[in-house]
Amino acid sequence: MTQPVFHDLISDSQLRKAIDVLGYEQPTPVQLKAIPAAVAGENLIVSSKTGSGKTAAFLLPAIQAILARPPVNPSSTRILILTPTRELARQIVKNAEQLLKFTSLKVGMVCGGEELKYQKAMLRKNPEIVVGTPGRLGEHISHKSTDFSGLEFLVLDEADRMLDMGLSDDVLKITNTCRPERQTFLFSATMEQKGLRHLIKQVILGAAEEIYIDEKPNAITQQMLLADDYKHKEKLLVALLQKSTFEKVIIFTNTKLKASQLDNLLRYNKFRVGTLHGDITQDQRKITLDHFRQGRTTVLVATDVAARGLDIPGVELVVNMDMAYSGDEYLHRIGRTGRADNEGRAVSLVDAKEWNLTKGIERYLGATFELITMPGLKGKYQGPDKTKSSGKSVGTKKKTTAKDKKDDTKAPKVKVRERDKKNIGNRRVPTALKVVAAVDGFAPPKKKITKQIDDNDE
Ligand code: AMP
């Protein structure tokens, strides 16, 4: 049977062009099921995780529909997307702008942290699509700055998380102002969430098609290696790769420059490498990915942007050369391994400046990364000096030098808000990821890793 291609699902030529530019070749499982049902006019209840391609699954059929018909009410928003966090809203807006590239439709974002008056001015311009967080949108409803009387599509993204965050009253305040004849799509990582059915009954008016995609947790072993500095990280990376036998590994780095430098370093160490970053042309990107898929290269170095949405089977290991800048980005990265019921492994290289960020991500995920070491490469940095922070120091307390202070100010801020923290241990990981304790401190997910690395071997 031939694999379906995107053009089988979407007929609008402007959208097809945008899909081609984005490089989406085949629909993801959620797209394959949700798009035809949405095009047929159904309401949808979809269980699907971040990273599964769900944004395009709801955006594409909704955009295609509004491109094909006149608005019900020209002053009303046509597609409204509610999402729990600003970060997700931003991602959706970005994805929408990419898909709208060859159309004249506009998208607007309404989240907290920005002045209301600017958002009001933006809403007066009537963008066809509005993406927002429930709290701020609720405020706009009170100010009567929104018009959803002619709404054609309502999307609730990550509905489970909105419930976790106590946003259901705001959600209902908004949905009650939406045109009842709309189509409604509700996406949730799990359907087990308490109160979800109640919410569904109130927002989905009429029958709905239920779609379940891969609710089974994937097992990803999450580990970290401490590093003194970037040079140390490079040595750790080379040793990590040399000591493991793998068919496919993806290495994430935060900048294009570092990606290119890593490419050189790994080539020098005789690895078969391909690199993806924002300056790589679409044609080159396709070639690099084909080589990696076919096994002609075994290591893919990538920046976050370049690696978005990669669905490559058989990635055994993801390495974070730089720590991801947020919990969601970390999830996106490690979601490249352990796909389709395979086990996976993620190793993050963490230096002093990334310690707080890493701990924030652990809290966000409700997980603890297993600390491992590389034989002969254990550095000086072993986490924060507890005698400094605990106040329970015994003996001499190290004085804080001017340089320490300067470094402190450089420490990356953890992008985890209080709101998100409320869900700790509650939602994110239990369904999406399972932290697997390694048997010997460095247990390979598969037999393919030949040499064991002894955690305590110095
Ligand atoms: P999402 O689950 O919507 O957050 O999507 C994760 C990433 O996958 C985004 O960067 C999308 O641009 C990308 N993506 C969505 N659909 C596809 C597809 N069919 N092929 C390749 N990438 C995709």
In whole angstroms, what is the distance from residue 38 CA to residue 32 CA? 11
- Distance in Å, CA 309 to ligand 1 centroid: 4
Per-residue pLDDT tens digits for 33-52 = 999 999 999 999 998 877 78
**Do 85 and 13 have their domain in common?**
yes
Residue 325 vs residue 389, higher pLDDT: 325
- Provide the 10 A C-beta neighbour count for residue 451: 12
**Do 241 and 153 have their domain in common?**
no
In whole angstroms, what is the distance from residue 326 CA to residue 329 CA? 5
For residue 130, give both structure tokens: 């509005």
**Do 253 and 271 have their domain in common?**
yes
Closest to 12 measured CA to CA, from 49, 52, 66, 87: 66
**Do 53 and 80 have their domain in common?**
yes
**Do 194 and 240 have their domain in common?**
no
**Do 431 and 354 have their domain in common?**
no
Q: What percent of the chain has pLDDT over 90?
A: 53
Please indicate, yes or no, if residue 395 is contained in any of the structural domains.
Answer: no
Nearest protein CA to atom 10 of ligand 1, as residue: 308
Indicate whether residue 50 lines ligand 1 (CB < 6 A): yes
Please indicate, yes or no, if residue 381 is contained in any of the structural domains.
Answer: no
Among the three residues 351, 371, 391, which one is the final residue of a domain in this structure?
Answer: 371
User: In a 10 Å sphere around its CB, with 0-12 CB exposed, 13-18 middle and 19+ buried, how is residue 182 labelled?
Assistant: buried
Please indicate, yes or no, if residue 424 is contained in any of the structural domains.
Answer: yes
Q: What are phi and psi of 399, to 5 degrees?
A: -75, 145
Q: Is the pLDDT of residue 305 over 60?
A: yes
3-state secondary structure of 221: strand
- Distance in Å, CA 53 to ligand 1 centroid: 4
The CA-based angle 20-23-28, given to 5 degrees, is 105
Residue with tokens 């979800």: 196
- Distance in Å, CA 326 to ligand 1 centroid: 18
Please indicate, yes or no, if residue 412 is contained in any of the structural domains.
Answer: no
Per-residue pLDDT tens digits for 330-355 = 887 887 777 655 678 999 999 999 99
What's the pTM value of the predicted model, to 2 decimals?
0.57
Indicate whether residue 95 lines ligand 1 (CB < 6 A): yes
**Do 144 and 282 have their domain in common?**
no
Ligand 1 atom index nearest CA of 311? 21
Please indicate, yes or no, if residue 121 is contained in any of the structural domains.
Answer: yes
**Do 23 and 101 have their domain in common?**
yes
What is the mean predicted confidence (pLDDT) over 296-315? 80
**Do 194 and 226 have their domain in common?**
no
Indicate whether residue 51 lines ligand 1 (CB < 6 A): yes
Among the three residues 165, 182, 212, which one is the final residue of a domain in this structure?
Answer: 212
Per-residue pLDDT tens digits for 396-451 = 333 334 443 333 333 344 444 444 433 333 333 332 333 332 222 223 333 222 22
Nearest protein CA to atom 6 of ligand 1, as residue: 51
The 8-class DSSP code of residue 180 comes to T
Closest to 345 measured CA to CA, from 314, 374, 383, 386: 314
**Do 272 and 171 have their domain in common?**
no
**Do 137 and 20 have their domain in common?**
yes
Indicate whether residue 145 lines ligand 1 (CB < 6 A): no
Nearest protein CA to atom 21 of ligand 1, as residue: 24
Nearest protein CA to atom 19 of ligand 1, as residue: 27
Work out how many domains the chain is built from and give that number. 3
Q: 186, 200 in Cβ contact below 8 A?
A: yes
Q: 107, 159 in Cβ contact below 8 A?
A: no
Ligand 1 pocket: which of 22, 32, 293, 331 to mutate (most atoms <8 Å of CB)?
A: 22
What is the mean predicted confidence (pLDDT) over 245-262? 92
Per-residue pLDDT tens digits for 94-144 = 999 999 999 999 999 999 888 999 999 999 999 999 999 999 999 999 999
Structural domain that includes position 177: 6-212
Top-ranked range on mean pLDDT: pick from 254-263, 284-293, 298-307? 254-263
Closest to 322 measured CA to CA, from 291, 284, 357, 270: 357
